[in-house]
Chains A and B, each alone.
Chain A
């Protein structure tokens, strides 16, 4: 039904320059060209570009979003359909990605944003984006924008920057091509009649400003749980509009490379029959939570799935959704594996979950959001030094004498990823 080829152009270094090019794996970004392109949006007053490479003593803060630069070669539309491009079917044709590069948008919409990426040392261990060659895009918006417009401006600028840079891959020969192909549920089931049918339910924060997710440009707060082909999210259908849950938000980059989809795909036709993704909104109201969980189970049952992997986004009220979905699925005989993170306190001695259901028998933990890490002073800061003060002001003694600061993992981008993008977990000691 859908066949997607992802052509990876390996990026091994990044620099700013006068034209955009990739030579021997070195990505050069046309500084003036990109700034001019972004400033076509009159709401943008100023753009500052910089690069951050793995191992450099650089700290990026506050991070708004991370996006993978790509270009559409065939099928669909270039860009993000429904957002920066006209509507088109995502998930088919060929897409080239600058593999190893990332656009990191910086800029605070509200003063309390955190979201750190350290490119070196202790901090680098805790974020997957210390391993990418990052183009940082720091956006100053025009005065007097309301917060919604401000957020939208920065969100769109990040996507457009990724598009601008990604375009360089258009005429290039990728270093490798990965193919994702899956027929209709009936075709796949006919092919693998004996394999257990598995769905992926991806919960998304959908609760208002700074807490939004978009699918084909539709604010997912307004949707009923929707079925996506496994290829769509891997091909720019889903973008992030949230930026206050640093450790467990799903950045746009992580939607484009959703590890849960990729790891389920890898087992398709071997151990499982992977049917697709249910996109589940996380509502604020309890009736919304009941509706979304009922609807999710109904889709699972309509498709006859035997099992489901459920991933969460955020922390706090979404924990309720996760456990309600788990409870309903298990009671209906659907084997459920959850991916979440936990708060076991700074010393790790608290109960990890305040909410518990006995049905949650198979849970993957992305780590303790309150785990304290010590970040040594950076040689260079990209973004807003004030945001570091927000971090350092978190509690008494957060700022140490030698300039190091102690922060909880919750401030680090992608540290406790609940789609299982990172390698952190908790063990009982």
Chain B
């Protein structure tokens, strides 16, 4: 090994040994030192690489000041230019997981630096970064630290040294969703017959092309009194204010927009139109309320049938199949609506 590779590490206030929930509001800090799991992680690198510094940030601070935190961290990472960025492991901690995930995703996508983290398979952060990060599968509590760090370190070493990674099972990471073309010993027809025989015998078999799985969410409880409820309007039909100020893309949008509609009685033309490229826009452009029926909701508000229409309206463009962004959008929009005390949501799709 000619030269030690360089790693930058991210942890939250707890693993950064600053404090517990009382310190969750701390701003991101950078220490040119190895703190918490970063120390154990570096030991696992066996002298091949070193941790050049640790970023610590409060979970609440990050989630409430996402843009600011991200821009601070991205700048720092850019300056330090590590070979690999490592975060966590976050186990099943939701806010920590989302922070690790958002940071990993931004670093991978914007700086093109490889990222490694660790999470429990049900951590909500997983879906956000799974496709760009190597996420080591961990147990649901910090007790799994001793198992997670060697795996994270081994993956980091390989990436830093340009060694090809093995399969998810061999390396211990959660599949990123990449379909890798490989040559195997048995021809396809033989694999098919073996799969068939296993199926016929009632034995376990593994399909080579898993269909997308849709996990379901338990229905939220109903609104008890509509006349006191705040209802928010969302659409994936791409209705935007004239000029599309946030430049929401016409298909598979990379972002969503929210617009103050507290003073409006309708989403009418020409103030609003659709930017969605996925359907014939004639009808929506004539009357945008045909896609996002603000006019009717406002009437219901006036009549006292519902309490209030939430002052912001949320919009993006999506087709039924683009998965990873819609997860991110839903998580982000949902957090805002929850914080604002919205009681119910109408989402319209085209």
Contacts and interface: CB of A to CB of B under 8 A. Distances in A.
B321 to A, nearest CB: 7
Interface in A221-270: 259-260, 262-264, 266-267
Contact of B179 (A364, A418, A426): A426
A130 interface: no
A423 interface: yes
B209 A426 contact: yes
Interface in A361-390: 361-368, 371
A26 to B, nearest CB: 28
Contact of A348 (B165, B180, B186): B180
Interface residues of A, number: 58
B334 interface: no
A348 B181 CA distance: 8
Given A272-B197, A337-B196, A363 B207 contact: yes
B200 interface: yes
B177 A420 contact: no
A425 B208 contact: yes
A356 interface: yes
A351 B321 contact: yes
A367 B180 CA distance: 8
Contacts of B209: 340, 342, 352-353, 360, 363-365, 426
Q: How large is the interface on B (under 10, 10 to 19, 20 to 34, 35 or more residues)?
A: 35 or more
Given A362-B207, A409-B181, A422 B187 contact: yes
Given A348-B178, A364-B195, A426-B182, 10 more contacts: A260-B193, A272-B196, A272-B200, A338-B192, A339-B189, A363-B209, A364-B191, A368-B181, A371-B181, A421-B187
Contact of A362 (B176, B182, B205, B212): B205
A351 B189 CA distance: 23
B182 A427 contact: yes
Interface in A405-429: 409, 417-429
Given A361-B207, A363-B209, A424 B195 contact: no
Contact of B131 (A349, A419, A426): A349
B190 interface: yes
Contacts of B282: none
Interface in B198-226: 199-200, 205, 207-212
Nearest to A357: B211
Given A307-B196, A309-B196, A364-B192, A423 B180 contact: no
Given A196-B200, A307-B200, A360-B211, A125 B183 contact: yes
Given A198-B196, A307-B200, A360-B211, A420 B191 contact: yes
A181 interface: no
B176 A423 contact: no
Given A198-B196, A337-B199, A259 B211 contact: no
Contacts of B167: 427, 429
Contact of B211 (A339, A358, A426): A358
Given A335-B196, A364-B208, A428-B168, A420 B190 contact: yes
Nearest to A337: B196
A49 interface: no
Contacts of B207: 360-363
Interface in A136-159: none
Nearest to A370: B181
A362 to B, nearest CB: 5
A212 interface: no
Nearest to A260: B189
Contacts of B208: 363-365, 425-427
B188 interface: yes
Contacts of B1: none
B192 A260 contact: yes
B175 interface: yes
A335 B212 CA distance: 20
A364 B208 CA distance: 5
B194 to A, nearest CB: 9
B184 interface: yes
A337 B180 contact: no
A259 B179 contact: no
A174 to B, nearest CB: 24
Given A362-B205, A426-B182, A417 B188 contact: yes
A-B pairs, 5 with minimum CB distance: A420-B188, A420-B189, A344-B179, A371-B181, A259-B189
Contacts of A365: 188, 208-209
Contacts of A271: 197, 200
A305 to B, nearest CB: 11
Given A259-B190, A356-B212, A362-B205, A335 B199 contact: yes
Interface string B156-183: 0000000001011000000111111111
B191 A424 contact: no
Interface in A175-217: 196, 198
A94 B176 CA distance: 52
B280 interface: no
Contacts of A272: 196-197, 200
A347 interface: yes
A353 B212 CA distance: 9
A314 to B, nearest CB: 16
Nearest to A125: B183
A264 B195 CA distance: 12
A423 B179 contact: no
Given A272-B197, A364-B195, A428-B210, A349 B190 contact: no
